[in-house]
Amino acid sequence: MSDSKHPKPGDRSIDVTDIDLVDITPDYIARLSKLRDGHPSAIEAILLAAPAARQRAGLSEPEVVELGADWEVSKRIDEVLPAVEKLLELLHETRLLRNHAIAFRLGEMAHQVRRRADRLPNGTEVAAPFEPLLAYHFAVGQKIAAMREKNKKEAEQTKPSPA
């Protein structure tokens, strides 16, 4: 069974407080070196080599220690990343469904307000508090109608006259 420190895809609780996260710009990312295939073996060769062998090769022990620490963080990120990606997918899809429900309800409510305002003698008073809702919902239809009207006028102006 997984826990928040060692999550599995589909888990809703992920604890990465042990990782010092950074936020860098896309420009900076483009300048970073990339690891190639085979890097785990190269890292293991350094980390598993005897200290005497590393010293003969001129490798700095503090740098070897830093390499080991960076490698552990990288492996930790690789461990949690699938769960983070799945959680991000679930959040995105949940938001899509909730926003769909919101859009549907806004449409239904806008139509109800308009129907009620059209039937009542004080319809303007009924609709006034909901002007932002009506403007939001019917904006697309009004934009399409305006575009059709514009296209119709342009077509009439460019129509050749009968000779």
Structure confidence by residue, pLDDT tens digits, 90-137: 999 999 999 999 999 999 999 999 999 999 999 999 999 999 999 999
Nearest to 74 by CA among 31, 43, 28: 43
pLDDT tens readout for residues 125-150: 999 999 999 999 988 877 787 788 88
Tokens of 73: 């963080």
Nearest to 142 by CA among 161, 114, 116, 112: 114
3-state secondary structure 14-48: CCCCCCCCCCCCHHHHHCCCCCCCCHHHHHHHHHH
